[in-house]
């Protein structure tokens, strides 16, 4: 699963290690002067707290005093308070104090997020397959041999699908996550092109090439998607399977063999629209969830890549249309498959993927039929089902945010308010679920919960952009701050961001476990 945050506008953070069982959790990256600024005081013992002080770190003088807002017990904490100092907006370095408890020093400044968008791309480059610029070496060049092809004579034959990104610390590669990552990077660029610089070339090696690095990375993803859709009606969903899970090793030292006569080639699984697997059957019922992701990535790629790779961009138009029509013909969800254990991306929905595909095609072509289709799909799933839920199966409602609603609100003026209402309903459910805890965290704590945080954070920001409605500002800031340290554990959820604060030091990664390599930017 990709542990990457693409919407860089929202970063911030906090934490403190203390000899007593009481902590002030902060956004370790800092706070913007005019933004919502809140820290959270938590304790494992009974404690009274009424007021807090904000002190200048240079002279230890109090510059602001506020009231602690108490919350009920939460997790291991007997008492919790929110410390809101949003009214203070002078730039500088500060710390918070409640009684004898102090926070780490943090900044209030306009430049705290500078470079954070590019920083996160470090992880994407490190995850590259085919050629890995972090290791300066090639890997997985023999991929792959076909499984489940509709033309049985092509089963076990070679098709070139080398490239793309490895999944996480294993080396499986999935179309759903890769297509979504590709789309979100391009979408982030269209929203904030000024946030991205050019320090790396197309191969991910140091050296500018007059193309923003986020575009280089998205192009790497698109190139792989093209290989996974080599011709009309031929789509692949997965490269490798859980036989990969044979111990930690670097991708350049991968020696797993899937077949006695295929060398190091890995299986690439054809999208049939039907249940696949042997001992562990998935619950695939159609193709639309995956081919819809192909279509949206190709459609946005045709727009975004036009400036940088015009011929390539033009070639994506027909592929986007063909993928979308294939999804309309065979609706339903496609799930991944496993061999050794029931480790399946159990995606159950597809309307969100087809909605985004339809509206991306409308953005590309201006054809009204796509606008009509987009609304039909939006009404099938107005709210992504995890929003407000207590649990979900692994990747059951993927992707975790439906950017189609945002596009519909922007592009369909007649029905803009309806799309906005869909976004608001999802936000309200998550806000309500988190209203009674000090971190205002309303996502279910499941595998990939931080991805849900990012999804909701994105939806809140886009909703505010569309409506200029600021009623969720504090909840939006709380989600951002959660990722950057203002959480129960007091650690950033993004490796090495910021580099001088508390962030994961022993993530589940062969890079760190075997060689102490950092996986900077991983979520």
Q: How far is Cα 45 from Cα 218, in angstroms, rounded to an integer?
A: 49
Q: 3-state class of 484 per DSSP?
A: strand
Give the model's confidence band at 14: pLDDT under 50 very low, under 70 low, under 90 confident, else very high. very low
- The per-residue pLDDT for 356 is 98
Question: What is the C-alpha R_g of the chain?
Answer: 23
DSSP 194: G
Q: How far is Cα 27 from Cα 11, in angstroms, rounded to an integer?
A: 9
- CA separation, residue 52 to residues 20, 78, 253 (Å): 18, 18, 54
Q: Count CB neighbours of 18 within 10 A.
A: 14
Q: How far is Cα 14 from Cα 96, in angstroms, rounded to an integer?
A: 12
Element housing 40 (H / E): strand 38-43
pLDDT tens by residue, 101-149: 999 999 999 999 999 999 999 999 999 999 999 999 999 999 999 999 9
pLDDT tens by residue, 386-441: 999 999 999 999 999 999 999 999 999 999 999 999 999 999 999 999 999 999 99
Please give the structure tokens belonging to residue 149: 């092809």
- The per-residue pLDDT for 493 is 97
Of 191, 451, 380, residue with least CA distance to 300: 191
- The per-residue pLDDT for 308 is 98
Contact 406, 423 (CB under 8 A): yes
Share of residues in the chain with pLDDT > 70 (%): 96
Which domains occur in the chain, in start order?
14-112 (2.60.40.10), 114-312 (1.50.10.10)
- The per-residue pLDDT for 1 is 41
Of 35, 44, 33, 39, residue with least CA distance to 15: 39
Average pLDDT of every residue of the chain: 95
- The per-residue pLDDT for 108 is 98
Q: How far is Cα 401 from Cα 396, in angstroms, rounded to an integer?
A: 12
Please give the structure tokens belonging to residue 332: 């339903």
Rounded to two decimals, what is the model's pTM? 0.95
Whether 6 shows a pLDDT value over 70: the answer reads: no
Of 480, 455, 275, 432, residue with least CA distance to 352: 455
Give the model's confidence band at 2: pLDDT under 50 very low, under 70 low, under 90 confident, else very high. very low
Whether 24 shows a pLDDT value over 80: the answer reads: yes
pLDDT tens by residue, 231-290: 999 999 999 999 999 999 999 999 999 999 999 999 999 999 999 999 999 999 999 999
Whether 3 shows a pLDDT value over 60: the answer reads: no
Q: How far is Cα 88 from Cα 38, in angstroms, rounded to an integer?
A: 11
Q: How far is Cα 42 from Cα 191, in angstroms, rounded to an integer?
A: 36
Q: How far is Cα 162 from Cα 144, in angstroms, rounded to an integer?
A: 7
- The per-residue pLDDT for 11 is 36
- The per-residue pLDDT for 46 is 83
Give the model's confidence band at 500: pLDDT under 50 very low, under 70 low, under 90 confident, else very high. confident
- The per-residue pLDDT for 169 is 82
The runs of H, that is alpha helices, within 330-435 are: 351-365, 368-380, 403-411, 416-434
- The per-residue pLDDT for 8 is 36
Partners of 80 in beta bridges: 42, 71
Contact 32, 50 (CB under 8 A): no
Q: How far is Cα 101 from Cα 206, in angstroms, rounded to an integer?
A: 44
> By mean pLDDT, which of 6-15, 329-338, 346-355, 372-381 is the weakest?
6-15
| Residue whose structure tokens are 């972090």 | 134
Q: Count CB neighbours of 291 within 10 A.
A: 32
pLDDT tens by residue, 35-85: 999 999 999 998 889 999 999 999 999 999 999 999 989 999 999 999 999
Q: How far is Cα 275 from Cα 283, in angstroms, rounded to an integer?
A: 5
Compute φ and ψ for 131, nearest 5 degrees.
-130, 130
pLDDT tens by residue, 341-368: 998 999 999 999 999 999 999 999 999 9
Element housing 180 (H / E): helix 175-191
């Amino acid at each position: 699963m990709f542990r990457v945050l693409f919407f860089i506008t929202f970063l911030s953070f906090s934490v403190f290690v203390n000899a007593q069982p009481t902590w002030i959790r902060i956004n370790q990256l800092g706070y913007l002067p005019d933004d919502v600024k809140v820290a959270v005081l938590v304790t494992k013992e009974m404690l009274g707290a009424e007021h807090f002080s904000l002190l200048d770190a240079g002279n230890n003088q109090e510059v602001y005093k506020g009231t602690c807002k108490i919350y009920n017990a939460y997790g291991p904490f007997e008492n919790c308070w929110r410390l809101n100092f949003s009214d203070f907006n002078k730039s500088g370095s500060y710390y918070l104090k409640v009684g004898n408890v102090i926070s780490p020093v943090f900044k209030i400044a306009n430049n705290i997020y500078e470079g954070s968008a590019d920083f996160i791309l470090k992880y994407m480059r490190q995850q590259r397959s085919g050629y890995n610029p972090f290791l300066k070496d090639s890997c997985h060049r023999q991929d792959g041999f076909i499984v489940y092809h509709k033309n049985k004579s092509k089963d076990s034959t070679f098709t070139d699908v080398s490239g793309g990104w490895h999944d996480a610390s294993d080396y499986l590669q999935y179309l759903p996550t890769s297509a979504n990552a590709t789309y979100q990077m391009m979408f982030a660029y269209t929203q904030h092109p000024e946030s991205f610089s050019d320090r790396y070339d197309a191969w991910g090696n140091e050296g500018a090439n007059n193309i923003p690095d986020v575009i280089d990375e998205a192009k790497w993803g698109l190139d792989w998607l093209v290989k996974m859709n080599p011709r009309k009606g031929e789509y692949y969903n997965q490269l490798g399977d859980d036989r990969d899970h044979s111990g930690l090793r670097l991708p350049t030292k991968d020696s797993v063999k899937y077949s006695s006569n295929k060398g190091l080639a890995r299986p690439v699984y054809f999208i049939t629209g039907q249940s696949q697997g042997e001992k562990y059957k998935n619950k695939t019922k159609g193709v639309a969830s995956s081919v819809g992701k192909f279509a949206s990535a190709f459609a946005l790629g045709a727009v975004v890549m036009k400036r940088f790779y015009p011929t390539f961009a033009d070639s994506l138009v027909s592929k986007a249309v063909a993928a979308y029509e294939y999804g309309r013909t065979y609706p339903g969800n496609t799930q991944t498959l496993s061999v050794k254990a029931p480790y399946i991306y159990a995606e159950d929905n597809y309307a969100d993927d087809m909605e985004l595909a339809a509206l991306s095609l409308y953005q590309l072509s201006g054809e009204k039929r796509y606008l009509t289709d987009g609304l039909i799909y939006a009404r099938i799933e107005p709210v992504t089902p995890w929003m407000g839920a207590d649990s979900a199966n692994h990747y059951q409602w993927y992707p975790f945010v439906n950017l189609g609603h945002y596009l519909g609100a922007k592009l369909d003026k007649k029905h803009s308010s309806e799309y906005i209402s869909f976004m608001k309903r999802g936000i309200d459910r998550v806000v309500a679920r988190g209203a009674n805890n000090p971190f205002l965290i309303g996502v279910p704590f499941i595998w990939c919960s931080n991805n849900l945080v990012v999804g909701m954070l994105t939806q809140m920001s886009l909703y505010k952009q569309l409506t200029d409605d600021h009623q969720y500002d504090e909840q939006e800031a709380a989600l951002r701050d959660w990722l950057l340290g203002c959480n129960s554990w007091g650690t950033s959820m993004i490796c090495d961001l910021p580099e001088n604060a508390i962030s994961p030091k022993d993530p589940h990664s062969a890079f760190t476990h075997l060689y102490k390599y950092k996986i900077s930017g991983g979520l």
